[in-house]
A = this chain, B = another copy of it.
Amino acid sequence: MRAAVLHAPGEVRVEEIDDPEIIEPTDAVIRLTATCVCGSDLWPYRGVESVDGPVPMGHEYVGVVEEVGDQVRTVKPGQFVVGSFVASDGTCEICRAGYPSSCVHRVFMSQIGTQSERARIPWADGTLVATPDLPDLDLVPSLLAASDVLGTGWFGAVAAEAGPGRTVAVVGDGAVGLLAVLAAGRLGAERIIAMSRHEARQKLAADFGATDIVTERGDEGVARIKELTGGLGAHSVVEAVGTQESMQQAIGSARAGGHVGFVGVSHDVALSGEDLFFSQVHLHGGPAPVRRFLPELIDLIWQRKIDPGRVFDLSLPLDQAAEAYRAMDERRAVKALLSV
């Protein structure tokens, strides 16, 4: 089958690799309908994370089940499925407590790769959720978004305890940040402040429910959030970048007793214990337990109540994966969909 393979920093090639097979009786093999490029794929693409030989890329996916192992019970061939970017057994104590992304048997799908025609999905019962029927084609981008960026933005908003009566600030205007805005709105937040200085992203944030836009960053961004919240800071802040500056901006923007949900993958971040202590915020984040939210998210998409697929502003066939990476690397695209 064809798959996007990273050979060296900046060098993505779509080439023939072996077809996946059922290895464990809990596996499924799916034929992908669509996949995409994630902000986190850019770390190895840019050489920030080292790459050891040619490596198949990707971890987001929707598609049709082709084959299942003997022990798979909840999905069957022919069904259209959405799965999390982390495979999880669904039965361990951590999964049952709502943290499948930290499942004791978890497999990061990035270790398998999903920018390909087919993919093996470990722990199919604990990982995949079937849609009610084969979806209309225009729903595919939104269902694909649920696999990671929507689920991650949603977790950020849940971790930040966005809800009725709350003012929510979102740091980061990438796909995850924009979808955290959408999530905060669905969760009933009263006021949603998107921090962005890109016009097109500001527009999308507003369409997703942002009530205010703040263009300042760092200390100035914090000061502006305080100004908008009676000097106190936001009740809820979602951090969707993962840098030192964005984490400090997020913590500084929250009021004492408030909640910071951080879902940007941290790179070289060191938090001052003293600042955290006196900020008195709640801090929670990590790799999003997307599987926890999938049934609800699929339902909202199926009923056309949310349209998270709008974050895809570039759509290319899988064969043009290299161009998709370039467009995201150069920030010409927020998020690139690859149709298979």
Known pairs A93-B232, A271-B273, A277-B285 / 17 extra A-B pairs, C-beta < 8 Å: A93-B230, A94-B232, A94-B255, A94-B256, A97-B257, A98-B257, A99-B280, A104-B232, A256-B286, A266-B273, A267-B274, A269-B274, A271-B276, A276-B286, A280-B286, A281-B284, A282-B282
Considering the chains assembled together, what is the distance between the CA atoms of A104 and B226 in angstroms? 13
Considering the chains assembled together, what is the distance between the CA atoms of A284 and B247 in angstroms? 15
A283 near B287 with CB under 8 A, answer no
Say which size band chain A's interface belongs to: 35 or more
Residue-wise, chain A 143-163 has the 8 Å CB interface mask toward B (1 for contact) of: 000000000000000000000
A270 near B267 with CB under 8 A, answer no
Min Cβ gap A36→B in Å is 22
Q: Inside 8 A of A269's CB, which chain B residues have their CB?
A: 272-274
Min Cβ gap A91→B in Å is 14
Min Cβ gap A97→B in Å is 5
Q: Contact check: which of B94, B257, B276 meets A99 at CB < 8 Å? A: B257
B270 near A272 with CB under 8 A, answer yes
Q: Inside 8 A of A274's CB, which chain B residues have their CB?
A: 266-267, 269
Q: Inside 8 A of A282's CB, which chain B residues have their CB?
A: 282-284
Given A94-B256, A256-B94, answer yes or no on A102-B280 (Cβ-Cβ < 8 Å): yes
A236 an interface residue at 8 Å Cβ cutoff? no
